[in-house]
Structure 1
């Protein structure tokens, strides 16, 4: 068994349960802004359309085709106009409210705290490497009581690069004082986390809780964070 010393984790969709937290936030916004009054869509339709729009914009952001500002300003306008709301009727502060409320949510994936405690007690150096926005990632970590597990918290904004760019991983290794050979990347995204780490010479753990079918080659694959204890 290979001896790892440094474990790099993605945050959203790997430790912090983005879907659960986003769902709760969207429910609050739907009620607070009385979006049902338009009579054009249900909450389920609003939530589904938002997810589609947000996912598409994040892919553009990760390809450097839109900026953070454009992503934040556009996602609710696109969501609501596509559901039939006139642009003039879209609340001007809805995106800011979403950005304020969401990171204060605390849902994490099952076994997150116990596994991170186990790994830290075993002497592994734990780090975060995330494409998420700097101003919200630290709030998420604090809200979900994750901050103290990690030695280094590396964000794309701070490094100047986005996963899967090898320069992001090189920056993370340098920050952690680690080599690729002694490091392991844990993440849910086959392109950003798994392929990015592979191309940087770093072994990978693909976190696949929904057991989605794929054809990628990964060093390890797990459907529960508890499975990390099987080989670490």
Structure 2
């Protein structure tokens, strides 16, 4: 067994963030009757997603805080849709944060593959930039908690992927070494390059088969392909 410790990212790798966010945003659109402003739910979701992704990139590069991320994404969405910040319901950000983690959609074969890896004797962990309290709710809602020995969040160690210090912290916390560890994630910068710089082999989870020029140890389009690697 070349690897013993398997580190997963959570959002966009196991937990289907886009599907769960889509469902949550549709709920909020209906709850706040946002159609009254002449916008469609599809435009609302598309614009919010673009803005949220941009703000997450800033957060991961330490250019904005967690609080700034949470409080600005919806007002900016309304402005981009041609409305005003005041049209953004006062509690919509808190509602989103409360409802989203309760959703349970995961990528195909998630539980099957995790069962397979656990039965084969691999020790499974998570490394995530997501907010600690939210990530634990997501794991419970999607029946993923029990698979993982350690759940390492950026908040618990003070560093965000791709900073090598979060990977080093994860290795120290789990008692693992880099040569016996494998990182699996969907983000080329945060998961693949971050792990590479920390000395870990990597699996790039690329379900949309995006073209790129980054050298990865392995690349998969479906989680079931991990059975061919491990």
Normalising by the residue count of structure 2, what TM-score does the alignment of the two structures yield?
Answer: 0.99
Match of 1:219 in 2: 217
> Over residues 166-224 of structure 1, what are the superposed CA-to-partner deviations in whole Å (9 max), with x where a residue is unaligned?
00000000111000000000000000000000001100000000001111100000000
Q: Is the 8 A contact 2:124 2:149 kept in 1?
A: yes
Match of 2:170 among 166, 169, 172: 172
Q: Output the CA distance in 2 between the equivalents of 1:100 and 1:217.
A: 38
Aligned residues, how many?
230
Match of 2:5 in 1: 6
Q: Output the CA distance in 1 between the equivalents of 2:201 and 2:37.
A: 50
SS in 2 for 1:84: coil
1:49-88 correspondence to structure 2 within 5 Å: 49-88=47-86
Q: Is the 8 A contact 2:101 2:135 kept in 1?
A: yes
CA positional deviation for 1:89: 2.4
> Over residues 145-173 of structure 1, what are the superposed CA-to-partner deviations in whole Å (9 max), with x where a residue is unaligned?
00000000000001100000000000000
1:62-141 correspondence to structure 2 within 5 Å: 62-141=60-139
Q: Output the CA distance in 1 between the equivalents of 2:86 and 2:61.
A: 30
1:168-207 correspondence to structure 2 within 5 Å: 168-207=166-205
CA positional deviation for 1:81: 1.4
CA positional deviation for 1:43: 0.9
1:34-45 correspondence to structure 2 within 5 Å: 34-39=33-38, 41-45=39-43
CA positional deviation for 1:135: 1.3
CA positional deviation for 1:231: 1.6
Q: Output the CA distance in 2 between the equivalents of 1:44 and 1:212.
A: 23
List structure 1 runs of 4+ shifted beyond 3 angstroms.
none
Q: Alignment RMSD, CA only? A: 0.7
Runs of 5+ unmatched residues, structure 2: none
> Over residues 98-135 of structure 1, what are the superposed CA-to-partner deviations in whole Å (9 max), with x where a residue is unaligned?
00000000000000000000000100000000000111
Runs of 5+ unmatched residues, structure 1: none
Q: Is the 8 A contact 2:15 2:105 kept in 1?
A: yes
Normalising by the residue count of structure 1, what TM-score does the alignment of the two structures yield?
Answer: 0.98
